[in-house]
Chains A and B, each alone.
Chain A
Amino acid sequence: MIDPFVRTALIGIARSEDASTNTPVDALTNDFLLRAGARDLYLRAGLKPPRMEDVHEKASDETLRACSPALANALAEEIGEGDADILRVIFAGLAEKRLHVPHPLLPAVLRVRERVLRARAVAVIGERGRWLARQNSAWSWAIDSNADAATQWEEGNEQQQIDALHALRAIDAANARERLIERLPQERAERRAALLGGLMTNLSGDDEELLEQMLKDRSSVVQSAASELLARLPSSAFVQRAQAKLEALVRFEENKSVWSKIGLGKSAKLVIEDSKELAQIAGAVPLAWWTSHMPIEEWFEQANEQLIEGWTIATIRQRNATWANALIQRDTKMILALLEIIPTNQLDEVAAGDNEKLQRIIRIRKLIAEEKTT
């Protein structure tokens, strides 16, 4: 409903009813403008806000705890920067300590795009985050995730199906595997590989049979997805085979020097056969195999690049903190994955050097670790 005065201005004084009087249009217009000014002044000065009852719900109290001001300050800096690697560390750390993201930072967290980050963010946005997400359709990902996993597995999109498989594995690993076996023949290669990844949750020897079968899949993508999982099962035939291959490639020659006989110098000399598969094979062998022959430091003295790569893969799969600490000084490509394995109380031993991201991650992990748990 437009005010008649404003309507006159919209259509123009020349076309208005006022123009039909004897007063010249110029005088009319001048007078009209001044009246418009006075009218506006009265409206501004006499403004009374419209009254409306509040019908909105309030956010519920948080069930998670709030961060200390020191941590909140540090998070404000890091979340503002939006580095995915650092956000991953933050979300994991907060979840472990049962803390929620400080409220002023929630919009920045809800704007995160990466799927992996979103999956982790859901656990730390708290009641306030869900309340906020309900009011912005772009943030529905933060509230939809608690839909029934079995339904999602049947009806969800590709990503929801994978998430659902993880959830189903957490509830009943065998049942979830049966559902997967039923589904696999209907899917194309990339989907078969992606769905297999869902077995990572609650992976056990019971999955070996299926995985061995998938090793013979006609697609190399599926084969490598299966071998990735098998390499994480120390008792699997796959690992035994890798170990046998390794023993054919790596031999020791007894060190016959005088120094060795009196307990000094190296205990064995390492002979490595050239093989393109060395890193891949080493990556599947339990790290204990190496240390049963020689201490880590001695291995490092005689290692080549392929071995370092293989150990790095094995360390990440087996989550071995001792090896991670030794490797972190050498390998740069996988450095963040290695850092993740090292427990917070051992972070002081990590020499971050000039690596700025490493320094920032270490700082934030220590800060989160210092938060009280009660």
Chain B
Amino acid sequence: MLTTDQILAAAPDAQVAAAGKKLADAKHWRNVGADDDALWGECQGSALYQVRVSLATLAAKCTCPSRKFPCKHAVGLLLMHAQNPAARAARPEWVASWLAMRTETAERKTAKAAPDPEGQAKRAAQRHERVLEGLEALDLWMLDLVRNGLAELETKGTAAWDQQAARLVDAQAPALSTRLRALASIAGGADDWAERLLGELGRIALLTHAYRRIDQLSPELQADVRTAIGWTLTEDEVQSTGERIADDWLVLGSITEEGDRVRTQRTWLRGRASGRTALVLQFAAGAAHFAQLLMPGTVIEADLAFWPSAWPQRALIAERRAQRTANLDGDDSFATFLDRNANALAKQPWLWRTGAVIRDLIPRVDTRGTWTVRDRENGVLPLEGRDHWQLLAISGGHPIGLTAEWDGYALTPLAVVNNGVFHRLTGVR
């Protein structure tokens, strides 16, 4: 059963959450029912709306005109169900036909013809040339930086970084552009900014170096280099050719970043049996929704299809079967987690971020406002950001379980588990 908190987290914005709360009252509803797969009801708004929710995927469909997803009616119905489970009932026709249609669409999606292979190869060759030119310009710029000294960056703004990042977009290397743009905020920041910036620049130099000799790499590492530059496989390609793993996937939490036009959501998963860490990237334009609702602290029983890589991490949800809440397993110390991470880096040196689940951590803040977590071996790692008061309040100086995103330097907390209760952290980003 989902908690109120989890459902509200799934609402697309605060207005829908607030409106949904108001609708979570039996007086607005009639013909409410549920079975193993679906939840449904009719809500009397300015018209009578039919709302149906698939309990396995939390996909929802409502006859209301709202373009938000899930709409307030679906959120209201789920909230009401969470507080007071709907009585089991026979599935009405309008619910049954929707579920059947969803299955059909999913099947149709998998059977699509590949487009013209010759044209594709030609476009790829053209792009390769442009990328090579772009990387050459980037190399020259980075060499200039190191030749003249990073110190002068301390007082310079972000304009030069933005310019280089824009050039990489023109050179059709969007992923590298994003990574470079993220470096803009490092210069002159934390005490160790020079160390960190130098490291990042060096890693990028290794990447441009590798791309020029890509033929000498293993197919998996070739895929990683191409991904780090910004060559992407379509989801259809991954769906049909990617490595598939069936498992119970614990949702560790998500970070959503607002871009100019597109919102990007990174959701981290950990496979129960496989022990694999997976990253599900979702994109949504404007007010549109993310296709998959992934709530922290739930377990989804699903097949994931992984993008090819020497250390496969990015994945899509190929088939989702059921959903339930779960306890947290996870690494028992930083050493266990960092060993795993060292293995990953040995195979895939451009791995940028990864998901972490670690038990028995104690968060602390010092008088300068620096946040850290300590594990049971008294190892200390920094936390990203300045506001982790909620984490501290939940812990009270006692050990808690933490899910987080690790970028090689610091952990960004996603959720806390304390005495078996999962708390999504709010106000961190």
- Chain A residues within 8 Å of B, Cβ to Cβ: 2-3, 5-6, 9-15, 25-26, 29-30, 32-41, 43-54, 56-59, 70, 73, 76-77, 80, 103-107, 110, 128, 131-132, 135-136, 356
Contacts and interface: CB of A to CB of B under 8 A. Distances in A.
Interface residues of B, number: 57
Nearest to B408: A44
B256 to A, nearest CB: 18
A171 to B, nearest CB: 32
A36 B408 contact: no
B390 A104 contact: yes
B132 to A, nearest CB: 17
B394 A103 contact: yes
B135 to A, nearest CB: 13
B47 to A, nearest CB: 20
A20 B222 CA distance: 38
Interface of B: 3-5, 8, 21-22, 83, 139, 142-143, 146-151, 194-195, 198-206, 209, 334, 338, 341-342, 345-346, 349, 362, 364-365, 374-375, 377-381, 389-390, 392-394, 396-398, 408, 423, 426-427
Nearest to A55: B364
A54 B194 contact: no
Contacts of A49: 334, 338, 375, 379-381
B203 to A, nearest CB: 5
B151 A11 contact: yes
B146 A9 contact: yes
Chain B interface SS verdict (over half):
helix
B396 to A, nearest CB: 4
Contacts of B142: 33
A53 B375 CA distance: 11
A44 to B, nearest CB: 4
A6 B194 contact: yes
B4 A54 contact: no
Contacts of B206: 34, 37-38, 41
Chain A interface SS verdict (over half):
helix
Contact of A45 (B151, B345, B423): B345
Contacts of A46: 342
Contacts of B338: 47-49
B143 A26 contact: yes
Contacts of B202: 33-40
Given A3-B195, A58-B398, A59-B397, A11 B149 contact: yes
B342 A45 contact: yes
B147 A56 contact: no
Contact of A54 (B139, B150, B204, B374): B374
A141 B396 CA distance: 19
Given A2-B194, A43-B199, 17 more contacts: A14-B149, A30-B205, A32-B146, A34-B202, A38-B202, A40-B203, A41-B203, A44-B199, A44-B408, A48-B338, A49-B381, A54-B362, A56-B364, A104-B394, A106-B389, A128-B393, A131-B396
B374 A135 contact: no
Contacts of A77: 4, 8, 21
Contacts of B378: 51-54
Contacts of A25: 147
Contacts of A136: 365, 389
Nearest to B388: A107
Contact of A30 (B143, B148, B204, B397): B143
A34 B374 contact: no
A45 B199 contact: no
Contact of A107 (B8, B22, B390): B390
